[in-house]
Protein backbone atom coordinates (compact mmCIF):
# COMPACT_ATOMS: atom_id res chain seq x y z
CA UNK A 1 0.00 0.00 0.00
CA UNK A 2 1.20 3.49 -0.84
CA UNK A 3 0.82 5.45 2.38
CA UNK A 4 1.88 9.03 2.98
CA UNK A 5 2.06 10.41 6.46
CA UNK A 6 -0.47 12.71 8.03
CA UNK A 7 -0.16 14.19 11.51
CA UNK A 8 -2.96 15.15 13.88
CA UNK A 9 -3.71 18.81 14.50
CA UNK A 10 -3.85 18.45 18.33
CA UNK A 11 -2.05 15.99 20.63
CA UNK A 12 -4.67 13.91 22.42
CA UNK A 13 -3.01 13.99 25.81
CA UNK A 14 -3.00 17.79 26.22
CA UNK A 15 -5.34 19.24 28.79
CA UNK A 16 -8.98 18.74 27.84
CA UNK A 17 -9.72 22.34 28.81
CA UNK A 18 -6.91 23.61 26.62
CA UNK A 19 -8.17 21.53 23.70
CA UNK A 20 -11.79 22.55 24.09
CA UNK A 21 -10.79 26.18 23.89
CA UNK A 22 -9.49 25.55 20.39
CA UNK A 23 -11.46 22.61 19.00
CA UNK A 24 -14.83 21.14 19.84
CA UNK A 25 -13.89 17.97 17.90
CA UNK A 26 -10.84 17.44 20.09
CA UNK A 27 -12.97 17.92 23.19
CA UNK A 28 -15.10 14.96 22.03
CA UNK A 29 -12.14 12.77 21.07
CA UNK A 30 -11.95 9.33 22.69
CA UNK A 31 -9.48 6.50 22.60
CA UNK A 32 -10.36 3.46 20.51
CA UNK A 33 -10.80 1.48 23.74
CA UNK A 34 -13.33 4.01 25.05
CA UNK A 35 -15.25 3.96 21.79
CA UNK A 36 -15.32 0.18 21.73
CA UNK A 37 -16.48 -0.02 25.35
CA UNK A 38 -19.54 2.03 24.38
CA UNK A 39 -20.51 -0.37 21.61
CA UNK A 40 -22.89 -3.21 22.29
CA UNK A 41 -21.00 -6.38 23.08
CA UNK A 42 -21.32 -9.22 20.59
CA UNK A 43 -23.29 -12.10 22.06
CA UNK A 44 -21.40 -15.30 21.32
CA UNK A 45 -20.99 -19.01 22.03
CA UNK A 46 -17.82 -21.01 21.45
CA UNK A 47 -18.06 -24.71 20.59
CA UNK A 48 -14.64 -26.34 20.84
CA UNK A 49 -13.13 -29.81 20.78
CA UNK A 50 -9.77 -28.46 22.01
CA UNK A 51 -7.88 -30.30 19.27
CA UNK A 52 -4.42 -29.29 18.09
CA UNK A 53 -5.22 -25.69 17.10
CA UNK A 54 -8.17 -24.78 19.33
CA UNK A 55 -5.98 -23.87 22.29
CA UNK A 56 -4.09 -21.30 20.24
CA UNK A 57 -7.34 -19.80 18.98
CA UNK A 58 -8.63 -19.55 22.55
CA UNK A 59 -5.47 -17.77 23.68
CA UNK A 60 -5.82 -15.13 20.97
CA UNK A 61 -9.56 -14.79 21.67
CA UNK A 62 -8.98 -14.00 25.34
CA UNK A 63 -7.00 -10.86 24.47
CA UNK A 64 -10.14 -9.54 22.72
CA UNK A 65 -12.69 -10.99 25.16
CA UNK A 66 -14.00 -7.59 26.26
CA UNK A 67 -15.65 -7.15 22.86
CA UNK A 68 -17.84 -10.19 23.46
CA UNK A 69 -20.66 -11.20 25.72
CA UNK A 70 -19.53 -14.83 25.94
CA UNK A 71 -22.64 -16.79 26.87
CA UNK A 72 -21.01 -20.23 26.82
CA UNK A 73 -17.87 -22.14 25.93
CA UNK A 74 -18.74 -25.79 25.39
CA UNK A 75 -15.88 -28.32 25.36
CA UNK A 76 -16.86 -31.52 23.52
CA UNK A 77 -14.51 -34.40 22.70
CA UNK A 78 -14.21 -35.26 19.02
CA UNK A 79 -12.71 -38.24 17.24
CA UNK A 80 -10.14 -39.10 16.08
CA UNK A 81 -8.31 -36.73 18.42
CA UNK A 82 -9.98 -37.70 21.68
CA UNK A 83 -12.23 -40.55 22.83
CA UNK A 84 -15.41 -39.75 24.74
CA UNK A 85 -13.83 -40.37 28.15
CA UNK A 86 -10.50 -38.63 27.48
CA UNK A 87 -9.92 -35.69 29.84
CA UNK A 88 -7.45 -34.05 27.44
CA UNK A 89 -9.78 -31.42 25.90
CA UNK A 90 -11.13 -30.25 29.26
CA UNK A 91 -7.69 -30.22 30.83
CA UNK A 92 -6.34 -28.13 27.96
CA UNK A 93 -9.13 -25.57 28.27
CA UNK A 94 -8.60 -25.38 32.03
CA UNK A 95 -4.85 -24.86 31.65
CA UNK A 96 -5.46 -21.86 29.38
CA UNK A 97 -8.10 -20.34 31.67
CA UNK A 98 -5.79 -20.87 34.66
CA UNK A 99 -3.03 -19.01 32.81
CA UNK A 100 -5.52 -16.24 31.99
CA UNK A 101 -6.38 -15.97 35.69
CA UNK A 102 -2.71 -15.42 36.52
CA UNK A 103 -2.31 -12.76 33.82
CA UNK A 104 -5.61 -10.97 34.31
CA UNK A 105 -4.47 -8.27 36.78
CA UNK A 106 -1.78 -7.21 34.32
CA UNK A 107 -4.09 -7.43 31.29
CA UNK A 108 -6.74 -5.32 33.00
CA UNK A 109 -4.30 -2.44 33.25
CA UNK A 110 -4.75 -2.20 29.49
CA UNK A 111 -8.39 -3.22 29.26
CA UNK A 112 -10.39 -3.08 32.53
CA UNK A 113 -13.40 -4.57 30.76
CA UNK A 114 -11.84 -8.00 30.24
CA UNK A 115 -14.04 -10.71 31.84
CA UNK A 116 -13.04 -12.24 35.15
CA UNK A 117 -11.74 -15.77 35.52
CA UNK A 118 -14.82 -16.73 37.54
CA UNK A 119 -17.07 -15.32 34.80
CA UNK A 120 -15.39 -17.51 32.21
CA UNK A 121 -15.45 -20.59 34.39
CA UNK A 122 -19.16 -20.09 35.04
CA UNK A 123 -19.94 -20.36 31.33
CA UNK A 124 -17.46 -23.13 30.44
CA UNK A 125 -19.21 -26.50 30.33
CA UNK A 126 -18.56 -30.03 29.13
CA UNK A 127 -20.46 -31.39 26.17
CA UNK A 128 -21.06 -34.94 25.00
CA UNK A 129 -20.39 -36.82 21.81
CA UNK A 130 -16.97 -37.81 20.49
CA UNK A 131 -18.19 -38.22 16.91
CA UNK A 132 -15.53 -38.52 14.18
CA UNK A 133 -14.73 -35.53 12.04
CA UNK A 134 -17.12 -35.54 9.09
CA UNK A 135 -14.89 -36.83 6.28
CA UNK A 136 -13.69 -39.81 8.37
CA UNK A 137 -17.15 -40.89 9.53
CA UNK A 138 -17.33 -44.31 7.86
CA UNK A 139 -13.66 -45.17 7.61
CA UNK A 140 -14.16 -46.44 11.19
CA UNK A 141 -10.50 -45.89 12.03
CA UNK A 142 -7.64 -43.39 11.93
CA UNK A 143 -3.90 -43.75 12.37
CA UNK A 144 -1.73 -40.74 11.60
CA UNK A 145 -0.12 -37.60 12.96
CA UNK A 146 -2.30 -34.77 14.25
CA UNK A 147 0.02 -31.83 14.84
CA UNK A 148 2.74 -33.23 17.13
CA UNK A 149 0.75 -36.30 18.29
CA UNK A 150 0.52 -39.66 16.55
CA UNK A 151 -3.10 -40.68 16.96
CA UNK A 152 -4.66 -44.11 16.54
CA UNK A 153 -8.42 -44.32 16.92
CA UNK A 154 -11.34 -46.56 15.94
CA UNK A 155 -15.12 -46.32 16.23
CA UNK A 156 -18.34 -48.00 15.14
CA UNK A 157 -20.73 -46.81 12.43
CA UNK A 158 -22.26 -43.45 13.23
CA UNK A 159 -25.96 -42.66 12.86
CA UNK A 160 -27.54 -39.30 13.67
CA UNK A 161 -30.31 -40.55 15.93
CA UNK A 162 -27.93 -42.67 18.01
CA UNK A 163 -26.38 -39.42 19.23
CA UNK A 164 -29.07 -36.73 19.00
CA UNK A 165 -32.45 -36.96 20.68
CA UNK A 166 -33.77 -39.03 23.55
CA UNK A 167 -32.13 -41.80 25.56
CA UNK A 168 -28.49 -42.86 25.71
CA UNK A 169 -25.53 -42.66 23.37
CA UNK A 170 -23.82 -45.86 22.20
CA UNK A 171 -21.43 -45.25 25.14
CA UNK A 172 -24.37 -45.63 27.52
CA UNK A 173 -24.35 -41.95 28.50
CA UNK A 174 -27.32 -39.55 28.34
CA UNK A 175 -27.44 -37.62 25.08
CA UNK A 176 -28.03 -34.51 27.15
CA UNK A 177 -25.01 -33.06 28.92
CA UNK A 178 -23.97 -30.22 31.17
CA UNK A 179 -23.14 -28.32 28.00
CA UNK A 180 -26.41 -28.90 26.15
CA UNK A 181 -28.46 -28.16 29.28
CA UNK A 182 -26.59 -24.87 29.70
CA UNK A 183 -27.17 -23.92 26.06
CA UNK A 184 -30.89 -24.50 26.52
CA UNK A 185 -30.81 -21.99 29.39
CA UNK A 186 -29.12 -19.47 27.09
CA UNK A 187 -31.70 -20.04 24.36
CA UNK A 188 -34.41 -19.38 26.96
CA UNK A 189 -33.11 -15.90 27.82
CA UNK A 190 -35.26 -12.88 27.04
CA UNK A 191 -32.63 -11.28 24.83
CA UNK A 192 -33.29 -10.23 21.24
CA UNK A 193 -29.64 -9.87 20.28
CA UNK A 194 -28.33 -12.41 17.75
CA UNK A 195 -26.19 -15.24 19.12
CA UNK A 196 -22.99 -15.71 17.14
CA UNK A 197 -22.02 -19.37 17.47
CA UNK A 198 -18.37 -20.12 16.70
CA UNK A 199 -18.17 -23.80 15.72
CA UNK A 200 -14.56 -24.80 16.29
CA UNK A 201 -15.66 -28.38 16.93
CA UNK A 202 -18.20 -30.47 18.80
CA UNK A 203 -21.36 -29.14 17.13
CA UNK A 204 -23.17 -32.24 18.38
CA UNK A 205 -23.73 -30.60 21.78
CA UNK A 206 -25.17 -27.49 20.11
CA UNK A 207 -27.56 -29.59 18.02
CA UNK A 208 -28.67 -31.61 21.04
CA UNK A 209 -29.47 -28.33 22.79
CA UNK A 210 -31.59 -27.20 19.83
CA UNK A 211 -33.40 -30.53 19.87
CA UNK A 212 -34.04 -30.29 23.60
CA UNK A 213 -35.28 -26.69 23.39
CA UNK A 214 -37.71 -27.72 20.65
CA UNK A 215 -39.03 -30.63 22.70
CA UNK A 216 -39.32 -28.51 25.84
CA UNK A 217 -40.90 -25.35 24.44
CA UNK A 218 -42.72 -26.40 21.28
CA UNK A 219 -42.50 -25.42 17.64
CA UNK A 220 -43.66 -21.82 17.97
CA UNK A 221 -40.99 -20.87 20.52
CA UNK A 222 -38.42 -22.86 18.55
CA UNK A 223 -39.15 -20.90 15.38
CA UNK A 224 -38.78 -17.67 17.36
CA UNK A 225 -35.34 -18.81 18.53
CA UNK A 226 -33.84 -19.90 15.20
CA UNK A 227 -33.51 -16.43 13.58
CA UNK A 228 -31.29 -15.33 16.50
CA UNK A 229 -28.70 -18.03 15.85
CA UNK A 230 -25.83 -17.12 13.53
CA UNK A 231 -23.43 -20.02 13.06
CA UNK A 232 -19.89 -19.75 11.73
CA UNK A 233 -18.84 -23.29 10.86
CA UNK A 234 -15.16 -24.14 10.56
CA UNK A 235 -16.27 -26.99 8.31
CA UNK A 236 -19.45 -28.53 9.70
CA UNK A 237 -17.36 -30.86 11.90
CA UNK A 238 -19.63 -33.91 12.33
CA UNK A 239 -22.85 -35.44 11.01
CA UNK A 240 -24.98 -33.39 13.41
CA UNK A 241 -24.86 -30.54 10.83
CA UNK A 242 -27.71 -32.30 8.99
CA UNK A 243 -30.03 -30.73 11.55
CA UNK A 244 -29.63 -27.32 9.88
CA UNK A 245 -28.34 -28.06 6.35
CA UNK A 246 -29.28 -30.69 3.77
CA UNK A 247 -26.52 -33.27 3.39
CA UNK A 248 -27.38 -33.98 -0.24
CA UNK A 249 -27.57 -30.33 -1.25
CA UNK A 250 -24.33 -29.51 0.56
CA UNK A 251 -22.59 -32.43 -1.15
CA UNK A 252 -24.00 -31.82 -4.61
CA UNK A 253 -24.19 -28.02 -4.81
CA UNK A 254 -21.29 -26.69 -2.72
CA UNK A 255 -17.59 -27.40 -2.31
CA UNK A 256 -18.22 -29.44 0.83
CA UNK A 257 -16.13 -32.59 1.05
CA UNK A 258 -17.79 -35.19 3.22
CA UNK A 259 -15.45 -38.09 2.51
CA UNK A 260 -17.00 -41.36 3.65
CA UNK A 261 -20.00 -39.79 5.42
CA UNK A 262 -23.55 -40.63 4.34
CA UNK A 263 -26.82 -38.90 5.31
CA UNK A 264 -28.60 -40.50 8.27
CA UNK A 265 -30.87 -37.76 9.68
CA UNK A 266 -33.81 -38.37 7.34
CA UNK A 267 -35.76 -35.24 8.29
CA UNK A 268 -36.06 -31.70 6.95
CA UNK A 269 -33.34 -29.41 8.32
CA UNK A 270 -34.26 -26.33 10.31
CA UNK A 271 -33.31 -22.83 9.12
CA UNK A 272 -30.91 -20.84 11.25
CA UNK A 273 -30.83 -17.04 11.22
CA UNK A 274 -27.51 -17.20 9.40
CA UNK A 275 -24.98 -19.91 8.58
CA UNK A 276 -21.42 -19.28 7.39
CA UNK A 277 -19.61 -22.31 6.03
CA UNK A 278 -15.83 -22.03 5.67
CA UNK A 279 -14.77 -25.16 3.85
CA UNK A 280 -11.13 -24.31 3.46
CA UNK A 281 -9.92 -20.72 3.88
CA UNK A 282 -9.28 -21.32 7.58
CA UNK A 283 -6.60 -23.90 6.71
CA UNK A 284 -4.24 -21.04 5.88
CA UNK A 285 -3.94 -20.42 9.61
CA UNK A 286 -2.69 -24.02 10.00
CA UNK A 287 -0.81 -25.14 6.87
CA UNK A 288 -0.66 -24.81 3.09
CA UNK A 289 0.76 -26.76 0.12
CA UNK A 290 2.30 -23.55 -1.16
CA UNK A 291 6.11 -24.00 -0.97
CA UNK A 292 6.44 -20.35 0.06
CA UNK A 293 3.86 -20.66 2.82
CA UNK A 294 4.63 -19.24 6.23
CA UNK A 295 2.14 -19.73 9.04
CA UNK A 296 0.77 -16.29 10.02
CA UNK A 297 1.62 -16.79 13.70
CA UNK A 298 4.12 -19.22 15.20
CA UNK A 299 5.01 -20.24 18.73
CA UNK A 300 8.33 -18.42 18.35
CA UNK A 301 6.44 -15.17 17.79
CA UNK A 302 4.08 -15.72 20.73
CA UNK A 303 6.02 -17.47 23.50
CA UNK A 304 7.63 -15.36 26.20
CA UNK A 305 4.70 -13.02 26.81
CA UNK A 306 3.31 -14.54 29.97
CA UNK A 307 1.70 -17.83 31.03
CA UNK A 308 -0.87 -18.02 28.23
CA UNK A 309 1.71 -17.34 25.55
CA UNK A 310 3.88 -20.19 26.80
CA UNK A 311 1.04 -22.65 26.14
CA UNK A 312 0.80 -21.47 22.52
CA UNK A 313 2.27 -24.14 20.21
CA UNK A 314 2.77 -24.72 16.49
CA UNK A 315 -0.58 -26.42 15.91
CA UNK A 316 -1.88 -23.36 14.07
CA UNK A 317 -5.07 -21.34 14.61
CA UNK A 318 -7.59 -22.88 12.22
CA UNK A 319 -10.56 -21.73 14.29
CA UNK A 320 -9.54 -18.09 14.68
CA UNK A 321 -11.35 -16.82 11.52
CA UNK A 322 -14.65 -17.66 13.24
CA UNK A 323 -14.19 -14.58 15.43
CA UNK A 324 -11.81 -12.48 13.34
CA UNK A 325 -14.78 -11.26 11.31
CA UNK A 326 -16.36 -10.06 14.53
CA UNK A 327 -13.17 -8.32 15.67
CA UNK A 328 -12.70 -6.51 12.35
CA UNK A 329 -16.28 -5.24 12.64
CA UNK A 330 -15.28 -3.63 15.95
CA UNK A 331 -12.45 -1.89 14.09
CA UNK A 332 -14.87 -0.58 11.46
CA UNK A 333 -14.03 -2.79 8.47
CA UNK A 334 -17.32 -4.64 8.11
CA UNK A 335 -20.81 -5.21 9.38
CA UNK A 336 -20.79 -8.63 11.05
CA UNK A 337 -24.42 -9.10 9.98
CA UNK A 338 -23.35 -9.01 6.31
CA UNK A 339 -20.67 -11.63 5.54
CA UNK A 340 -20.57 -10.65 1.85
CA UNK A 341 -18.75 -7.43 2.76
CA UNK A 342 -15.42 -9.15 3.45
CA UNK A 343 -13.59 -9.09 6.77
CA UNK A 344 -10.57 -10.38 8.66
CA UNK A 345 -12.44 -13.71 8.68
CA UNK A 346 -12.74 -13.80 4.84
CA UNK A 347 -15.62 -13.07 2.50
CA UNK A 348 -18.69 -15.25 1.96
CA UNK A 349 -21.10 -15.72 -0.93
CA UNK A 350 -24.69 -17.02 -0.86
CA UNK A 351 -24.80 -20.81 -1.09
CA UNK A 352 -27.45 -20.74 -3.79
CA UNK A 353 -31.17 -21.02 -4.45
CA UNK A 354 -31.46 -24.44 -2.78
CA UNK A 355 -30.45 -23.00 0.58
CA UNK A 356 -31.96 -20.39 2.90
CA UNK A 357 -31.25 -16.80 1.90
CA UNK A 358 -28.81 -16.19 4.74
CA UNK A 359 -26.67 -19.30 4.23
CA UNK A 360 -23.20 -18.43 2.91
CA UNK A 361 -19.94 -20.20 2.09
CA UNK A 362 -16.39 -19.50 0.95
CA UNK A 363 -16.73 -21.98 -1.94
CA UNK A 364 -16.56 -19.41 -4.77
CA UNK A 365 -14.36 -16.92 -2.95
CA UNK A 366 -10.64 -16.52 -3.56
CA UNK A 367 -8.36 -17.27 -0.61
CA UNK A 368 -6.92 -13.77 -0.91
CA UNK A 369 -10.09 -12.47 0.75
CA UNK A 370 -8.70 -13.98 3.94
CA UNK A 371 -4.97 -13.54 3.42
CA UNK A 372 -5.15 -9.84 2.43
CA UNK A 373 -6.00 -8.98 6.04
CA UNK A 374 -3.47 -11.23 7.77
CA UNK A 375 -0.78 -8.54 8.28
CA UNK A 376 -3.22 -6.25 10.10
CA UNK A 377 -4.75 -9.08 12.14
CA UNK A 378 -1.31 -10.41 13.10
CA UNK A 379 -0.01 -6.98 14.11
CA UNK A 380 -3.06 -6.54 16.30
CA UNK A 381 -2.42 -9.83 18.11
CA UNK A 382 1.31 -9.21 18.44
CA UNK A 383 0.52 -5.84 19.96
CA UNK A 384 -1.94 -7.28 22.48
CA UNK A 385 0.63 -9.82 23.61
CA UNK A 386 2.59 -6.82 24.85
CA UNK A 387 -0.18 -6.21 27.39
CA UNK A 388 1.15 -9.19 29.33
CA UNK A 389 4.63 -7.78 29.80
CA UNK A 390 4.42 -3.99 29.47
CA UNK A 391 2.64 -1.16 31.22
CA UNK A 392 0.03 1.16 29.68
CA UNK A 393 1.79 3.93 27.82
CA UNK A 394 4.40 1.46 26.57
CA UNK A 395 1.99 -0.42 24.28
CA UNK A 396 0.52 0.88 21.05
CA UNK A 397 -3.22 1.57 20.69
CA UNK A 398 -5.40 1.59 17.59
CA UNK A 399 -6.00 4.91 15.84
CA UNK A 400 -9.55 6.20 15.52
CA UNK A 401 -10.82 6.60 11.97
CA UNK A 402 -13.19 9.56 11.67
CA UNK A 403 -15.07 10.36 8.47
CA UNK A 404 -17.15 13.53 8.17
CA UNK A 405 -17.15 13.85 11.95
CA UNK A 406 -18.41 10.29 12.56
CA UNK A 407 -16.02 8.38 14.83
CA UNK A 408 -18.15 5.27 15.36
CA UNK A 409 -17.41 1.91 13.74
CA UNK A 410 -20.71 1.93 11.80
CA UNK A 411 -20.97 1.58 8.04
CA UNK A 412 -21.53 5.02 6.50
CA UNK A 413 -24.29 4.74 3.93
CA UNK A 414 -24.60 7.65 1.51
CA UNK A 415 -27.21 8.29 -1.17
CA UNK A 416 -26.27 10.60 -3.99
CA UNK A 417 -27.46 11.63 -7.44
CA UNK A 418 -25.58 10.40 -10.53
CA UNK A 419 -22.73 12.79 -11.25
CA UNK A 420 -22.82 14.30 -7.78
CA UNK A 421 -19.48 14.89 -6.04
CA UNK A 422 -19.30 13.45 -2.52
CA UNK A 423 -16.88 14.85 0.03
CA UNK A 424 -15.26 12.39 2.44
CA UNK A 425 -13.13 14.07 5.09
CA UNK A 426 -10.96 11.90 7.37
CA UNK A 427 -8.84 14.76 8.70
CA UNK A 428 -10.52 14.41 12.10
CA UNK A 429 -8.96 10.98 12.58
CA UNK A 430 -6.58 10.77 15.51
CA UNK A 431 -4.26 8.53 17.44
CA UNK A 432 -4.43 8.24 21.25
CA UNK A 433 -0.65 7.82 21.41
CA UNK A 434 0.04 10.89 19.24
CA UNK A 435 1.47 8.66 16.52
CA UNK A 436 1.70 9.92 12.99
CA UNK A 437 -1.14 8.67 10.79
CA UNK A 438 -1.25 7.50 7.20
CA UNK A 439 -4.34 7.10 5.05
CA UNK A 440 -5.29 4.70 2.31
CA UNK A 441 -8.62 4.83 0.50
CA UNK A 442 -9.60 2.04 -1.86
CA UNK A 443 -12.65 0.71 -3.60
CA UNK A 444 -13.51 -2.78 -2.37
CA UNK A 445 -14.96 -3.87 -5.69
CA UNK A 446 -15.25 -7.55 -4.72
CA UNK A 447 -17.72 -6.47 -2.05
CA UNK A 448 -19.84 -4.04 -4.09
CA UNK A 449 -22.20 -4.53 -7.02
CA UNK A 450 -21.19 -1.73 -9.40
CA UNK A 451 -19.42 -3.10 -12.51
CA UNK A 452 -17.97 0.16 -13.79
CA UNK A 453 -14.82 2.03 -12.83
CA UNK A 454 -14.27 4.59 -10.11
CA UNK A 455 -11.41 7.06 -9.89
CA UNK A 456 -9.67 7.83 -6.58
CA UNK A 457 -7.10 10.43 -7.59
CA UNK A 458 -5.01 10.50 -4.43
CA UNK A 459 -5.77 7.50 -2.17
CA UNK A 460 -3.30 8.74 0.47
CA UNK A 461 -5.09 12.07 1.05
CA UNK A 462 -7.29 12.58 4.08
CA UNK A 463 -9.81 14.55 2.02
CA UNK A 464 -11.51 12.87 -0.93
CA UNK A 465 -13.85 14.18 -3.60
CA UNK A 466 -15.64 11.22 -5.18
CA UNK A 467 -17.73 11.64 -8.31
CA UNK A 468 -20.74 9.32 -8.34
CA UNK A 469 -20.88 7.43 -11.66
CA UNK A 470 -23.73 8.40 -13.97
CA UNK A 471 -24.64 4.74 -14.49
CA UNK A 472 -24.63 3.65 -10.84
CA UNK A 473 -28.31 2.75 -11.10
CA UNK A 474 -29.41 0.25 -8.45
CA UNK A 475 -25.83 -0.84 -7.72
CA UNK A 476 -23.64 0.20 -4.82
CA UNK A 477 -19.99 1.13 -4.34
CA UNK A 478 -17.94 0.18 -1.28
CA UNK A 479 -15.11 2.52 -0.33
CA UNK A 480 -12.82 1.56 2.53
CA UNK A 481 -10.59 3.91 4.49
CA UNK A 482 -7.60 2.45 6.33
CA UNK A 483 -6.05 4.67 8.97
CA UNK A 484 -2.69 3.33 10.13
CA UNK A 485 -0.37 4.64 12.82
CA UNK A 486 3.42 4.44 12.83
CA UNK A 487 3.66 2.66 16.17
CA UNK A 488 5.40 -0.65 16.77
CA UNK A 489 3.71 -2.73 15.55
CA UNK A 490 1.60 -0.61 13.25
CA UNK A 491 -2.12 -0.75 13.98
CA UNK A 492 -5.04 0.06 11.71
CA UNK A 493 -8.67 1.10 12.00
CA UNK A 494 -11.18 1.32 9.19
CA UNK A 495 -14.31 3.03 7.92
CA UNK A 496 -16.47 1.70 5.13
CA UNK A 497 -18.59 4.02 3.02
CA UNK A 498 -21.37 2.46 0.93
CA UNK A 499 -22.60 4.73 -1.87
CA UNK A 500 -26.00 4.21 -3.49
CA UNK A 501 -27.91 6.27 -6.03
CA UNK A 502 -30.60 8.63 -4.83
CA UNK A 503 -33.99 7.53 -6.12
Residues 38 and 11 in one domain: no
Domain extent at residue 70? 34-388
Give me the CATH number covering residue 344. 3.90.245.10
pLDDT tens by residue, 230-270: 999 999 999 999 999 999 999 999 999 899 999 999 999 99
Residues 166 and 209 in one domain: yes
Residues 86 and 141 in one domain: yes
d(CA 219, CA 431): 51
How many domains does the structure of the chain reveal?
A: 2
Compute the mean pLDDT over every residue in the chain, rounded to the nearest whole number: 92
Residues 225 and 141 in one domain: yes
pLDDT, residue 296, reads 97
Residues 294 and 199 in one domain: yes
Dihedral of alpha carbons 109, 493, 315, 72, sign: positive
Residues 413 and 341 in one domain: no
- From residue 413, alpha-carbon distances to 184, 296, 422, 500 in Å are 38, 33, 12, 8
Q: Which of 343, 358, 388 is the last residue of a domain?
A: 388
pLDDT, residue 39, reads 72
Residues 6+ apart with CB under 8 A from 219: none
> Which segments of 164-303 does DSSP mark as H helices, in order?
178-187, 203-225, 247-253, 299-302
Cβ proximity of 90 and 43 under 8 Å = no
Q: 123, 112, 117: which is closest to 101 by C-alpha?
A: 117
Residues 154 and 231 in one domain: yes
Cis, peptide link before residue 489, omega less than 30° from 0: yes
User: Given a cut of 80, is residue 503 above it in pLDDT?
Assistant: no
pLDDT classification of 502: cutoffs 50, 70, 90: confident
DSSP letter at 305? Answer: S
Residues 378 and 461 in one domain: no
pTM of the model: 0.92
User: Given a cut of 90, is residue 471 above it in pLDDT?
Assistant: yes
pLDDT, residue 146, reads 85
Q: Which of 388, 414, 435 is the last residue of a domain?
A: 388
- From residue 129, alpha-carbon distances to 49, 124, 257, 277 in Å are 10, 16, 22, 21
Residues 477 and 403 in one domain: yes
pLDDT classification of 88: cutoffs 50, 70, 90: very high
Residues 473 and 357 in one domain: no
Amino acid sequence: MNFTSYSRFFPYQLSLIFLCSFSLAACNAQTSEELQSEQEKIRTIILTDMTHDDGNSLIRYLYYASYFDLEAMIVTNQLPDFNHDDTGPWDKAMSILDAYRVELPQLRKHDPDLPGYEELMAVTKQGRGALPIIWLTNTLEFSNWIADRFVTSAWDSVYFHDWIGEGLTPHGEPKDSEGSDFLVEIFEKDDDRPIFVQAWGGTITFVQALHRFREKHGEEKFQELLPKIHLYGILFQDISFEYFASFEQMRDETCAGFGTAIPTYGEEPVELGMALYDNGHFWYYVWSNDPDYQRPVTSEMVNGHGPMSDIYDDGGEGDTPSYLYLISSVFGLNDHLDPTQGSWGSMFRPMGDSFPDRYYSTCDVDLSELTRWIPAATNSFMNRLQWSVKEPGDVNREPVAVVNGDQSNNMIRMKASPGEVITLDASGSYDPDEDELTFHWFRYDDADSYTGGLQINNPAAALQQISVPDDLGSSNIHLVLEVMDNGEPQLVSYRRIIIEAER
